[in-house]
Structure 1
Amino acid sequence: MLLAAGKGERMRPLTLETPKPLITVAGKPLIDYHIEKLVAAGVAKLVINVSWLGQQIEDHCGDGRRWGCAIYYSREDTPLETAGGIIQALPLLGEQPFLLVNADIWTDFAFEALLKLSIEKSSAQLVLVDNPQHNTAGDFTLQGDTVERVARGAPGDSREETLTYAGIGLYDPLFFHGCTPGKRPLLPLLERAIAENRLFGKHYPGHWTDVGTPERRSALEQHLAEAASTDA
């Protein structure tokens, strides 16, 4: 599932007329990078949730055949936030664990690494990255492969050991069991899973960007240009 329903308010004025997943980076829409990588990893079916300017995303992506996959859409009258969007899309996602990716990030993470995992019922496996400048305090810590919440200000709290959720994860559908439909953030569900010892993770040290502002987009384009010149 690709999460693509947000308004991208921090990217204005770019997102006033263009949904953030269609903002181009190095000449290519963000969502295209994900679809290409997911199909290359063996994904045959994609679900995309859409809301703000969602018809543009549907027109651009179509049924997926040009990438060699099938694309289905979960339409939200108003954005339901992350968990709410997933819960509404569950009938399209089926009963097997599914890969979840925020459509407004860019990464060179290999999705195959998650697709090869087998996870327990009602659990989830998150990808965590080094803290970016806009989230220096981090979101979680890792104890082995178990995710724990950052204890803000706790004695001995070492911010250097904290990590940021990359917006990439493998989720069992039962992770959302008992959740009523509607607008709902994901963090409380992650915290509940932490309390029940069923949230796991892995640290990815490679390149990752939350393309949330024009400045981050420019920095990413510079990184890709430098990488291209090095490869050449």
Structure 2
Amino acid sequence: MKSVDHQFWRKALLPQGATIQQAISNLDESGLQIVLIVCPEGRLQGSVTDGDVRRALLRGLELDSPVEQIMFTSPLVVPPEMGREMVLHLMHANKIHQVPIVDAEHCVLGLHSWDEVLEESDRENTMVIMAGGLGKRLLPLTEDCPKPMLPVGGKPILELIIERAKMDGFVNFIVSVHYLGHMIEDYFGDGQKWGVNISYLREDSPLGTAGAIGLLNPRPTLPFVVTNGDVLTDIHYGEMLDFHLRHGALATMAVRLHEWQNPFGVIRTEGIKIIGFDEKPVYRTHVNAGIYVLDPIVLEELVAGSPCDMPTLFERVQQKGKSTIAYPMHEPWLDVGRPDDLQLARNKYPV
């Protein structure tokens, strides 16, 4: 446990009236996992965590909504004179990783933060990367190169995914290969060059986004992460895994908010009677982001060698009355499936 220095904790401060989008940006930029909402005099009004933001996204709140709609107005705080051992005990007892330091007037003076990054060791959990697709929409670029090996920022997409996951403590990878899979295996080998362990699932024919994991042998004994091999994102895979474990789910799907504006004015009717008008309404839905956490028991819903996609697997788990949950994302995300998407990725990750 450490107390964040005088300058750094100030990055967690946001004024009253800030938006949810500003809170998201603050969380991403500070890395402190908490936002402290203060009045002009510096008194603490409430706190917002990453979990608060994700719950707000699931409820469909607008990103330009006031942060007051999601903040916790009674966060645990400590006075500056409280000793380290007592602060440590409070954090343990309340299962929290950040505690604001306030004075008698409730003005923020600092922040105690449990430094999970320094404490966290390598995770035993496996990450499975689906890299066997044909990449038809990216032809002719994929005529002699599998899609996950297309270069972005001077590295294959697959390498960027592995490096991102390694930052979160993942060292055990299984890559599912089919189309031009030998190019992937030749490039990555056993993963020693990257300080990780890589093995391969070889699909004789395309098995879908879930079918390939039915080939896992031996099966994982711990919950494991599955990601499409063409998804670039700033998501923290470890945080998603922790979210899955905290909620006791069997299957977790990362979802993104998708907005679509109807280009026309919409007329609401009852029979032939016009009852209202909506001018170019915006529709908001949550869409599959191609990243999942699965409990090993869900593999019982798959038949080795039979095609299956992830939504079907989730439906099978639901039909058994088991828990499937959504992990709402706010991080940058890009599905590199079309030439335009590839160019966007290359603009974000310049060589």
**Alignment TM-score, normalising by the size of structure 2:** 0.54
Contact 1:74 1:88 in 2 (8 A): yes
Q: 1:178 to 1:221 in 2, by over 3 A?
A: closer
How many Å separate the matches in 2 of 1:160 and 1:205?
18
Q: Tell me the residue number matched to 1:211.
A: 336
Q: Runs of 5+ in structure 2 lacking a partner?
A: 1-127, 263-280
Aligned with residue 207 of structure 2, among 80, 91, 106: 80
Q: Tell me the residue number matched to 1:173.
A: 296
Q: 1:120 to 1:223 in 2, by over 3 A?
A: closer
How many Å separate the matches in 2 of 1:27 and 1:85?
29
Aligned with residue 3 of structure 1, among 99, 124, 130: 130
Which structure shows the higher strand fraction? 2
2:342 alignment partner AA: R
Q: Once superposed, what is the RMSD of the aligned Cα atoms?
A: 2.4
- Give the number of equivalent residue pairs: 203
Aligned with residue 190 of structure 1, among 310, 314, 327: 314
Which has the greater radius of gyration?
2
Contact 1:119 1:172 in 2 (8 A): no
Structure with higher RCO (Cα < 8 A, 6+ apart): 1
SS of corresponding position for 1:18: coil
SS of corresponding position for 1:131: strand
How many Å separate the matches in 2 of 1:119 and 1:50?
32
Q: 1:163 to 1:122 in 2, by over 3 A?
A: closer
How many Å separate the matches in 2 of 1:115 and 1:178?
21
Give the superposition deviation at 1:192: 3.0
Q: Tell me the residue number matched to 2:68.
A: none
Q: Tell me the residue number matched to 1:201.
A: 326
SS of corresponding position for 2:158: helix
- Within the alignment, does 1:163 sit opposite 2:286 as a pair? yes
Q: Percent identity?
A: 30
> What do the CA deviations read for 1:185-228 (whole angstroms, capped 9, x no partner)?
22222223345351101211121011001111112222345xx9
Contact 1:121 1:175 in 2 (8 A): no
Aligned with residue 39 of structure 1, among 166, 169, 178: 166
SS of corresponding position for 1:163: strand
- Within the alignment, does 1:17 sit opposite 2:144 as a pair? yes
How many Å separate the matches in 2 of 1:55 and 1:98?
25
Contact 2:209 2:228 in 1 (8 A): no
Contact 1:122 1:173 in 2 (8 A): no
- Within the alignment, does 1:95 sit opposite 2:218 as a pair? no
1:85 alignment partner AA: A
- Within the alignment, does 1:29 sit opposite 2:152 as a pair? no
Q: Tell me the residue number matched to 1:58.
A: 185
Give the superposition deviation at 1:92: 4.1
2:256 alignment partner AA: V
Contact 2:249 2:324 in 1 (8 A): no
How many Å separate the matches in 1 of 2:313 and 2:219?
18
**Alignment TM-score, normalising by the size of structure 1:** 0.79
Give the superposition deviation at 1:125: 1.2
How many Å separate the matches in 1 of 2:283 and 2:322?
23
